[in-house]
């Protein structure tokens, strides 16, 4: 793919501008969050062009934005954030992605690093690997009928809790309480249901993982204490999404909306930006189907969290309660949501697309009582976290650290309450396989003190840490830009890859 040579004007040390004068069809400017260290990686593909392309869509407000983990995606860049007015704006599957509600869940424990000897750690990794089906096309332990899958798509994580997978407290600490409103099976094809029925409770492949971690560094002692996090503590991170069901829903609707765009007179600079007016029958159909996939993903992570807890209990011989395996939070990375945000002096309902980006609402503003704040912001968070802001979970890349961050008021003002979601790829999977042809990635990780199990050697080579940007630099840019603040950094000890 050719490098990008278009305009990138430096605003400050963390932001670059693509002026709307770059393309006469752009309705707003483009903004990329990046410093000088990340800029060269960003220019290696045409992702900045995708930021400009998104800026041409009808009804876009604010800016077409990309987080520092930006890289090439389908239609919208991965790392892209864009909001559209309800009346004349559009909704686009490319702005959400194929893995709808690919997201991250973080569990805390009462264990410290000193409690896990190397033999115990290896047993834990193996137990998680055996308890949670993983790999391409993997099938889960949960058997559901076609009638019951409809319940999963509407009730999400609550369905899983009612079946005995987890607790009510898990739902309290899950974005949207684990089930978005607005699910509509009208846009969910039989093929999507067929793919979803056997895969509930599976990790999948690619960059999805289970990870046992040690809290290596705490940046904000007060916030960490309120989140139940301390240096040396053992945590567990779960990263997966809506599996084949979400992929099929996206694929079906991309094809359907490709023709619909013309029907509404929407001129597309890239056919991968296929979209429909938000309030049109087709736009509502896609949104309802997307919500179904998002709810499936929350149910999926809920079941997996239950089996991870069981694995810890099996290996360590203690109950979940004694191990203190409670949930810090669960966030979505690929989703579109109807939210109310300040546009100028007005509170405006918009459809916010976050593709490879995390919601990052700021803390409560005591006594503010503003309409915008009451409808979005901290009031969407558990009461325990409202004074902190939303937890933002940033996974590393198997060989590097992950982060626990908090959203900020500045994020709500500048990025529709959004921040980065990970490191961001710099190598395609094809290139990663070529570059690692003669390497033993598992042995390299063991040399760093990281125990890893995977469904195949190939997935480890595809997900080799070299294939990603430096997650420390990505998080640092977001923190310096003020759209999140650091709470803790977690170092990987044991990893299960799909």
Residue 118 CA, distance from chain mean position:
31
177 part of the active site: no
Residue whose structure tokens are 């929350």: 298
Q: Which residues pair with 372 in a beta bridge?
A: none
What whole-number distance in Å separates Cα of residue 460 and Cα of residue 478? 28
Return the number of other C-beta atoms located less than 10 Å from residue 231's C-beta: 15
Tokens of 232: 């040396």
What DSSP string runs through 66-133?
EEEEEE--SSSPEEEEEEEETTT-EE-GGGT-SSTT-EEEEEEEEEEGGG--HHHHHHHHHHHHHHS-
Strand pairing class (327-332; 484-497): unpaired
Dist. CA 251–CA 184, nearest whole Å = 17
Kindly name the residue from 341, 379, 421, 438 that is annotated as catalytic.
421
Our CA angle for 194, 195, 201, nearest 5°, is 115
Contact of 129 with 211, CB cutoff 8 Å: no
* CB contact at 8 A, 9 and 16: yes
Spatial distance between the Cα atoms of 262 and 258, rounded to a whole number of angstroms: 8
3-state DSSP call for residue 65? Answer: strand
Spatial distance between the Cα atoms of 325 and 196, rounded to a whole number of angstroms: 28
Contact 35, 13 (CB under 8 A): yes
Tokens matching residue 36: 């000088």
| Residues acting as catalytic residues | 421
């Amino acid at each position: 793919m050719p490098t990008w040579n278009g305009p990138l004007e430096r605003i400050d040390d963390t932001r670059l501008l693509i002026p709307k004068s770059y393309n006469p069809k752009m309705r707003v400017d483009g903004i990329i969050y990046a410093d000088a260290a990340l800029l060269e990686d960003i220019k290696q593909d045409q992702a900045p062009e995708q930021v400009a392309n998104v800026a041409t869509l009808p009804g876009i407000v604010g800016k077409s934005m990309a987080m520092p983990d930006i890289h090439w995606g389908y239609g919208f860049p991965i790392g892209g954030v864009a909001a559209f007015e309800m009346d004349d704006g559009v909704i686009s599957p490319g702005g959400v992605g194929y893995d709808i509600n690919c997201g991250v869940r973080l569990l805390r424990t009462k264990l410290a690093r000193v409690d896990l000897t190397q033999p115990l750690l290896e047993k834990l990794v193996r137990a998680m690997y055996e308890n949670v089906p993983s790999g391409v096309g993997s099938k889960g332990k949960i058997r559901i009928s076609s009638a019951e899958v409809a319940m999963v798509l509407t009730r999400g994580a609550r369905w899983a809790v009612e079946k005995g997978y987890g607790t009510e407290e898990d739902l309290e600490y899950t974005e949207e309480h684990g089930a978005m409103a607005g699910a509509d099976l009208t846009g969910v094809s039989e093929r999507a249901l067929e793919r979803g029925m056997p895969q509930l409770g599976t990790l999948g492949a690619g960059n999805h993982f289970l990870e046992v971690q040690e809290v290596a560094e705490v940046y904000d002692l007060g916030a960490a204490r309120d989140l139940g996090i301390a240096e040396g503590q053992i945590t567990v991170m779960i990263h997966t999404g809506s599996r084949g069901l979400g992929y099929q829903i996206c694929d079906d609707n991309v094809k359907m909306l490709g023709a619909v765009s013309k029907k509404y007179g929407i001129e597309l600079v890239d056919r991968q930006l296929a979209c429909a007016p938000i309030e049109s029958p087709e736009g509502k159909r896609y949104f309802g189907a997307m919500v179904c996939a998002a709810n499936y993903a929350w149910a999926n992570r809920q079941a997996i969290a239950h089996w991870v807890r069981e694995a810890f209990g099996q290996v360590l011989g203690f109950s979940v309660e004694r191990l203190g395996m409670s949930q810090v939070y669960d966030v979505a990375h690929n989703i579109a949501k109807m939210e109310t945000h300040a546009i100028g002096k007005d509170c405006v309902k918009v459809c916010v697309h976050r593709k490879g980006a995390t919601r990052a609402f700021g803390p409560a503003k005591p006594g503010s009582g503003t309409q915008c704040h009451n409808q979005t912001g901290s009031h969407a968070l558990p009461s325990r976290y409202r004074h902190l802001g939303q937890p933002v979970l940033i996974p590393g890349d198997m060989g590097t650290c992950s982060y626990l961050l908090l959203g900020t008021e500045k994020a709500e003002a500048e990025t529709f309450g959004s921040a980065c979601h990970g490191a961001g790829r710099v190598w395609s999977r094809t290139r990663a396989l070529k570059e690692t042809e003669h390497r033993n990635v598992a042995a390299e990780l063991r040399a760093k003190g990281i125990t890893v199990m995977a469904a195949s050697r190939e997935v480890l080579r595809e997900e080799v840490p070299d294939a990603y940007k430096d997650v420390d630099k990505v998080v640092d840019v977001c923190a310096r830009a003020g759209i999140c603040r650091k709470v803790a950094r977690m170092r990987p000890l044991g990893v299960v890859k799909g």
